[in-house]
Structure 1
Amino acid sequence: MKHLAKVKNKIGQYILVIFVTLTINFALPRLAPGDPLLYFFGETTINELTAEQKQEALHSLGLGGSLWEQYWTYLKGVFTLDFGTSIKYGVAVTEVLTERIPWTLLLVGTALILSLVIGVSAGAYSAWNRGKKRDLTILTGMLTLESIPGFWIGMMFLSIFAVQLGWFPTFGAVSMVQDGTTWGYIKDVVSHAILPVITITLATVGSNYLLTRSSMLESLGQDYMTVAEAKGIKKRALVFKHALRNALLPIYTHFTLSVGTLLGGAVVIETVYSYPGIGRLLYESVTARDFPMLQGVFLLVTMGVILANLIADLTYPLFDPRVRNRKEEKGEEITHA
């Protein structure tokens, strides 16, 4: 009974978080300064509109009526996936989001995986060689990367490799002119994604490295590592089967939360490279005061974060036997009761 009550309590917490999130998503665009009609009509035209015409235009964009009426319309749209019409693009918000999501998944998803693999590998290697020259060299390099803003890395790469050397495209996700073949399209997409992926990877690998190194050093100092080393277990097995395996718990948690921000994209990086992902869409929506689009993007990002936390809660016992054993013991107690 206690286990069932905890499950209900957890579900209630997530429902409350979702409700608060929806309310904040509704309020944020409306708290921002600026008139959405100014972008839609232009400064010259908007001054010629009457109050009735402005109100009619706001109603057509889903922004008319009182705040409570707008809020109720917004909640209904959330559950029917109808976020209204974009002020900037003049089409349904869901249509624009559907076009942009795959590009962000490709870009940021690839970068996060590379960052995780490189950061964990380098962190484990550095921790095993703690205090040695190779450890200090890697640590210095990672701390340097961690201190450099991602947008600066992007601007340098864009200036050197795209503009000066001409090795990569300067903007976008695909070229306007292609050879019409599938292989040519794939190469074109990859060539546009290389610089943004490398930029995001370099901007995030430092945190994965530092977390892995810290967790590994703590794991290496445990008694079971001393016993395993005394038994003559090979170095590779000590690092990967014992130390790293026990150090993966905080790394997994960090990675799961990073995945939660995946749909938000790297706003700054996508803006630097003019990459048509969710991050770039968020920037364009803010500058255009596109309330319907802002609500859709904010909702997408926050739901991604909540879903990532839920997945972390459900899968954490798979990585931590202590949590799994406690749950199994509680389950047995409930069965016997």
Structure 2
Amino acid sequence: MSVASSPVRSRTGLVRAVLGRAGGYLAVFAVALTITFLLPRALPGGPLRTLGGADVADLDPAVRAQVAAAYGLDQPLPVQFWRYLRDLARLDLGESFNGGRPVAEAIADALPWTLLLVGTSVLLTAAIGVALGVIAGLRRGRGKGNLLLAGVLLLDAAPAFWVGMLAILFFGVHLGALPTFGATTVGHTGLAAVGDVATHLVLPVGVLVVAGIGQFFLVTRFSVASALHAPHVEHAHARGIPHRRVVARHLLRPALLPVHTQLMIELGWLVGGALVVETVFAYPGLGRLTFDAIQGRDYPTMQATFLTLVVTVLVMNALADLTYPLLDPRTRTRGAA
């Protein structure tokens, strides 16, 4: 076989790998579309109480049928599903059952708050988790390393809802030091408004950091501990290079490659965690919007918020797949083989 055919085989293998991944993501997205449609309708009750403005049992059957027909709820599920897909293809998320507001507008108002909350949380979570993981990995099996491991595992096991309630009771009720609900205070402008938004972020961000720090810590600890005995690290030590320089130049870069993947995945899943935290702190993001939609069985809004979460997770995983080979060229060679 000629040498010239090797680059061709490499490109062909890379194209196949990319198409295979893309096909996998499309399949997951198709399943997610079906689930986001069926899940709201699987909940007990229905939207007729909200739409009819009274208890369903008290509604006249003719009125109930009229209301259901007005919102397409009288159609068979396959017909409703087809309309859902058709509207999505037109980028039409529909109108909320609660007030008739376009769902796209509600998402546009809520999403920036969730992105601010999740973005701040993931940066702090990654920085703290990686720093503690490096310390624990370098001291694996020793007192400080074991103490850090036990402490982080304890925090990681605590439910976000429970941590949030404790934070409200202690910092909000007992100390009165931090706001416990909402994202802003009416009346602030300029720099005071920026400080007010930051103050409202402290507790929900803190809860998300506690909920997400464990994964970064464990991944970093394992990677650093494994890299300590890698040949190139031991060779650097044998050459007499100072330990700190060995850690900084020869150990951290390869050891932190898995953290990149974890960062992308965590960014997606923290959006899901934010749904709980935003509900606890009445934060005006997607979580609060989803909670209100579930309470009112607002099918269009539930579908849109569930789909936003799914798309976020898929995009973050796709970015991890696409960017990891740029950081570790060995994966490009394996993928093209």
- Match among 295, 312, 322 for residue 303 of structure 2: 295
Following TM superposition, by how much is the alpha carbon of 1:60 offset from its aligned partner in structure 2, in angstroms? 3.3
| Aligned-partner residue type, residue 76 of structure 2 | S
Which residue of 2 is the match for residue 333 of structure 1? Answer: none
Following TM superposition, by how much is the alpha carbon of 1:313 offset from its aligned partner in structure 2, in angstroms? 1.4
Work out whether 1:14 is the aligned partner of 2:22.
no
Which residue of 2 is the match for residue 102 of structure 1? Answer: 112
Alignment partners' CA distance in 2, 1:132 and 1:11: 44
Identical-pair percentage: 40
Runs of 5+ unmatched residues, structure 2:
1-11
Q: CA 1:49/1:83 → structure 2, altered by over 3 Å: closer, same or farther?
A: farther
Which residue of 1 is the match for residue 4 of structure 2? Answer: none
Q: CA 1:129/1:44 → structure 2, altered by over 3 Å: closer, same or farther?
A: closer
Work out whether 1:235 is the aligned partner of 2:227.
no
Following TM superposition, by how much is the alpha carbon of 1:289 offset from its aligned partner in structure 2, in angstroms? 1.1
* TM-score, length of structure 1 as denominator length: 0.90
Alignment partners' CA distance in 2, 1:11 and 1:132: 44
Work out whether 1:129 is the aligned partner of 2:147.
no
- Match among 65, 74, 78 for residue 68 of structure 1: 78
Work out whether 1:145 is the aligned partner of 2:142.
no
Contact 2:172 2:180 in 1 (8 A): yes
Alignment partners' CA distance in 2, 1:72 and 1:141: 50
Contact 1:104 1:265 in 2 (8 A): no
Local SS of the residue matching 1:173: coil
Following TM superposition, by how much is the alpha carbon of 1:101 offset from its aligned partner in structure 2, in angstroms? 0.5
- Match among 57, 62, 68 for residue 58 of structure 1: 68
Following TM superposition, by how much is the alpha carbon of 1:262 offset from its aligned partner in structure 2, in angstroms? 4.3
Which residue of 2 is the match for residue 168 of structure 1? Answer: 178
Alignment partners' CA distance in 2, 1:69 and 1:276: 33
Deviations 1:110-133 (CA, angstroms, capped at 9, x unpaired): 111101111101111121123333
* TM-score, length of structure 2 as denominator length: 0.90
Following TM superposition, by how much is the alpha carbon of 1:143 offset from its aligned partner in structure 2, in angstroms? 1.9
Contact 1:171 1:274 in 2 (8 A): yes
Alignment partners' CA distance in 2, 1:234 and 1:61: 71
Which residue of 1 is the match for residue 47 of structure 2? Answer: 36
In the TM superposition, 1:152-301 aligns within 5 A as 152-175=162-185, 177-179=186-188, 181-301=189-309
Which residue of 1 is the match for residue 3 of structure 2? Answer: none
Deviations 1:240-263 (CA, angstroms, capped at 9, x unpaired): 322221122322222211122344
Which residue of 2 is the match for residue 119 of structure 1? Answer: 129
| Aligned-partner residue type, residue 125 of structure 1 | I
Q: CA 1:231/1:60 → structure 2, altered by over 3 Å: closer, same or farther?
A: farther
Following TM superposition, by how much is the alpha carbon of 1:44 offset from its aligned partner in structure 2, in angstroms? 4.0
Following TM superposition, by how much is the alpha carbon of 1:236 offset from its aligned partner in structure 2, in angstroms? 2.5
Mean Cα displacement is larger for which, 225-234 or 102-111? 225-234
Alignment partners' CA distance in 1, 2:157 and 2:19: 43
Alignment: residue pair count: 326
| Aligned-partner residue type, residue 201 of structure 1 | V
Contact 2:65 2:74 in 1 (8 A): yes
| Aligned-partner residue type, residue 73 of structure 1 | R
Which residue of 2 is the match for residue 49 of structure 1? Answer: 60
Local SS of the residue matching 1:261: helix
Deviations 1:117-163 (CA, angstroms, capped at 9, x unpaired): 11101111121123333223322221221222222221111111112
Alignment partners' CA distance in 2, 1:85 and 1:257: 31
Alignment partners' CA distance in 2, 1:45 and 1:203: 40
Alignment partners' CA distance in 2, 1:55 and 1:82: 25
Local SS of the residue matching 2:171: helix
Local SS of the residue matching 1:315: helix
Alignment partners' CA distance in 2, 1:131 and 1:263: 34
Contact 2:268 2:313 in 1 (8 A): yes
Which residue of 1 is the match for residue 5 of structure 2? Answer: none
Following TM superposition, by how much is the alpha carbon of 1:32 offset from its aligned partner in structure 2, in angstroms? 1.5
Runs of 5+ unmatched residues, structure 1:
331-337
